[in-house]
Amino acid sequence: MLVEVPHAGLALDPPSMSWTVAPTRSVARDADLYVDSLFADAPALGASLLRAHTSRYVVDLNRSADDYDGQTVEGGSTGDRPRGVVWRLTSEGYAVLRERLPRDELERRLDAVWRPYHRTLASVLERKRERFGFALLLCAHSMPSPRARGLRTLVPPFLADVVPGTRGRTSSAERWIDLVDTTARAHGLSVEHDVPYRGGYSTGHYGRPDLGVHAVQVELARRLYMDEESLALDPKGAERLLQFVRSLVTRLVTEARTAARGTEASSQP
C-alpha cells in the first residue's frame, strides 16, 4: 500500500516567484494543510508514504502534464482550465500568475517537480505490484467547506465528512472502496462517494484494477480538524480524525496482506 499526499506542499521554488502574485495565505488555503501529518504514521503501520513539498501553485501533481489552457501557458488549448497542472486562479478566483507562462517555464516546472514525483510514484507501485501481485494506492486530500463566493458556489451546500473518489467505482476493486466506507462509518463519519470529487489524475491514471493497481482518492472535510478561516489546527477534532486515519491505514494494510498471501498461494503449482 502507498499513501500519496500531492497537495501537502507550501514551497514556491525561486524561479516561479517572479510569476506568482498570490499571497502566502492563499498558498496555504489551497494546500491540503495537515493531511500529511494525519498520515505521518502510515510507514509505521505498514504503508509507504509519498508527500509533496512544492505548492500546487507551481505545479499541480494531481493533474495531467497537458492539462492547461492558452490563458495560462503559451500554446495551450482554447478551453478555460484555470486550475490545471498550473493554477492561473486561486480556488476563490484571485490571480495566481502575473502573466501567461511561456512553454519553457512550464517544462522547467514539469522537469523539476511533476516528472520526478510521478516517476517515483509509478516506480513504487510497480515494485509493490511485482512483489505482491497487486498494489493499493490511497490518494489523500482535504476539502474545504463550501464558501459563498467564487467557484465554491458550484459545490453542494454541504459536504460529507469523507468522500471516496473512484471514478464511479472503476479505479479500484469493490473490496477496497467498501473498506474505506465501512471504516469511516464505524468512526461516526458521514460518507458520500464521488460527490463532489470523483478522483483526480492519480486516481484515474494509476487506478487500473485489471492490471493489479487499485486507487482510491479520500477527501477529508477540513471542518473536522481545523479552523478554515484562521487555518489553525483544532486539536480535539484532529485527534478524532487521526484515530480514523490510523484505523483506515491499518485495516487496508491488514486486508492487503491477506489478499497478497492469497494471491501468492493461488500462484503455486
Domain harbouring 11, CATH code: 3.40.630.40
> 162 exposed, middle or buried (CB, 10 Å; 0-12, 13-18, 19+)?
buried
- Could you give the maximum distance between any two Cα atoms of the chain, in Å? 63
**Cα 16 from chain centroid?**
22
Domain that holds residue 199: 2-266
- How does residue 263 score in pLDDT terms, banded at 50, 70 and 90? low
Amino acid identity, position 232: A
Q: What is the pLDDT of residue 162?
A: 98
Query: Looking at the predicted structure, is the pLDDT value of residue 156 above 70?
Result: no
Overall domain count for the chain: 1
CA dist., res. 60 & res. 67, Å (int): 10
> Which pLDDT tens digit goes with each residue over 110-146?
999 999 999 999 999 999 999 999 999 999 999 999 8
C-alpha R_g of the chain: 19
CA dist., res. 213 & res. 133, Å (int): 9
Q: What are phi and psi of 45, to 5 degrees?
A: -95, 0
> Which pLDDT tens digit goes with each residue over 173-184?
999 999 999 999
Q: What is the pLDDT of residue 152?
A: 46
